[in-house]
Amino acid sequence: MQSNNLFETTIPVAPLKLAALEGCMDLAKRVDEYIVDFRRNRKNMHESAIEFQGYLSNSYLIRCCCPRFGTGEAKGMLGESVRGDDIFVMDDVGNYSLTYTVCGHTNHMSPDDHFQDMKRIISAAMANSHRVNVIMPFMYEGRQHKRTKRESLDCALALQELMDMGVSNIITFDAHDPRVVNAIPLHGFDNYMPPYQFIKALCRKVKDLQIDSEHLMVISPDEGGMNRAVYFSNVLGVDMGMFYKRRDYSTIVNGKNPIVAHEFLGSSLAGKDVIVIDDMISSGESMLDVAKQLKDRKANRVFICTTFGLFTDGMEKFDEYYEKGYFNYVITTNLTYRNEELLKRPYYLEADMSKFLAAIIDTMNHDISTEGVMSPTEKIRSLIEKYHQI
């Protein structure tokens, strides 16, 4: 959390308002509770000034919705005035549980539908608000981040579209490729990572974890996630390894080249606990193959940490591999939708990001440096020190 001294000597950009769409309302409510708590427990030398009107509130959430006509078309609506406010529009483009009706037929909302609804709320707020910021934890079209053939660059186009609408800042988490910021180099784009929340969830559940180079290793399941593994291993003070994917580039299955094999690069895994860290589990096929290969190489326990658990092919394969002992826990964040089946699994752990996101919003509303919340290195080291003492 940012030092209170900065908050106590600065004023907010404008009154804070959170416009959360239905797809991320559960997360937004928890974030709202943390912001309310932060501000109630903070003494500010300027709190009697007119600039602090509305600074203390029982809730910063405003009513917003996107009702639909019978044809499936929709409109964005705000339930209260946002004139002069600092608006944070929140949406989870991966929440497929929501539905809407088109000419009597029920459709599940796709990322395209969520993104369109987000633009509708932005459009409704843009004319009179002081500033509009977008919180999109799971980056819309983030996996379509580069062009290799005659194909569209959807993520870049989406970011440019938001900026053309007048959005000031975009906040996301663990972007599949953070270089998508190159599409909007003159605008605000913040990409946050959840390593502290991962290790916190793991330490709470596993009481006999030995965090040293002789007993623990961090693994990247592919070459694209090396930066995550390098940071994690350095801050924990342990070794790292990686797999690289050999793909069949002569064929395309479900829009991608199928993986032929995973090849491992690294030191011996025998007897060591292993943390596998990546940005997402989509179908989970690749992650499960990595977990199996780690156990085949005599790894002790396998802990899978991913920011977004999508599980697009269901949980059956994960249940099977858990029963066979290929992994011990799967840790994902609450930044995107998790169905009830996942939450009931004995091997599932949640890394709660709501307090972290609340700190980000509160910091940006004061227009002060986010460095204090962006870098979790000291927090991780402090957590490990306390864990060892206990």
Residues 272-286: tens digit of each pLDDT: 999 999 999 999 988
Q: Please give the average per-residue pLDDT across 319-346, as a whole number.
A: 95
Is the per-residue pLDDT at 316 higher than 60? yes
Q: Is 3 a residue whose pLDDT tops 60?
A: no
Residue 16 has pLDDT above 70, yes or no: yes
CA-CA distances (angstroms) from residue 134 to 139, 250, 261, 262?
11, 39, 39, 37
Other beta carbons less than 10 A from residue 99's beta carbon:
10
Mean pLDDT of 86-115: 95
Q: Confidence band (pLDDT; 50, 70, 90) for 337?
A: very high
Mean pLDDT along residues 372-388 = 86
Q: What is the pLDDT of residue 37?
A: 94
pLDDT band at 4 (very low <50, low <70, confident <90, very high): low
Using alpha carbons only, what angle is made at residue 114 by residues 110 and 120, rounded to the nearest 5 degrees?
Answer: 145
Confidence of residue 10 (pLDDT cuts 50, 70, 90): confident
Looking at residue 22, its pLDDT comes to 95
DSSP character at residue 212:
S
Q: What is the mean pLDDT of the chain?
A: 91
Mean pLDDT across 223-239: 89
User: What would you measure as the largest C-alpha separation in the chain, in angstroms?
Assistant: 68
Per-residue confidence (pLDDT) for residue 334, from 0 to 100: 96
Is pLDDT of 45 > 90? no
Say what the pLDDT of residue 61 is. 97
pLDDT given at position 224 = 78
**Which residues make Cβ contacts (< 8 Å) with residue 142, sequence separation at least 6?**
155, 172, 175, 176, 177, 180
d(CA 375, CA 366): 18
Averaged pLDDT, 125-153: 92
Query: pLDDT tier at 329 (50, 70, 90 boundaries)?
Result: very high
State both tokens at 280. Answer: 């997402």
Strands (E) in the chain, as ranges, are: 16-20, 64-65, 77-78, 86-90, 99-102, 105-108, 131-135, 169-173, 188-192, 216-220, 239-247, 259-265, 273-281, 302-309, 329-333, 348-351
Distance, CA of 259 to CA of 252 (rounded, Å): 10
Given a contact cutoff of 8 angstroms between Cβ atoms, the answer to whether 117 and 339 are in contact is no
pLDDT above 80 (res 213): yes
CB of 264 closer than 8 Å to CB of 241 = yes
Which tokens in the block code for residue 30?
Answer: 């928890």
Report the share of the chain in percent with pLDDT over 70. 96
Work out the percent of the chain whose per-residue pLDDT is above 90.
72
In order of 19, 137, 184, 231, 312, the CA distances from 193 in angstroms are: 23, 10, 20, 11, 23
Q: pLDDT value at position 138?
A: 96
Helix or strand or coil: residue 354? Answer: helix
What pLDDT was estimated at residue 369? 85
Distance in Å from the first CA to the final CA of the chain: 23
pLDDT digits (tens, 9 = 90+) for 150-174: 899 999 999 999 999 999 999 999 9
Asked if 144 and 111 touch (Cβ cutoff 8 Å), the reply is no
Distance (Å, whole) CA 315 – CA 292: 16
pLDDT of residue 286: 86
Residue-level pLDDT at 211 = 92
Q: Count of CB atoms within 10 A of residue 263's CB?
A: 11
Residue type, 145: H
DSSP string, 120-172: HHHHHHHTT-SEEEEE-SS-TTTT--S-SSS---HHHHHHHHHHHHT--EEEE
Q: Report the distance separating Cα 227 and Cα 212, nearest Å.
A: 20
Q: CA-based Rg of the chain, rounded to a whole angstrom?
A: 22
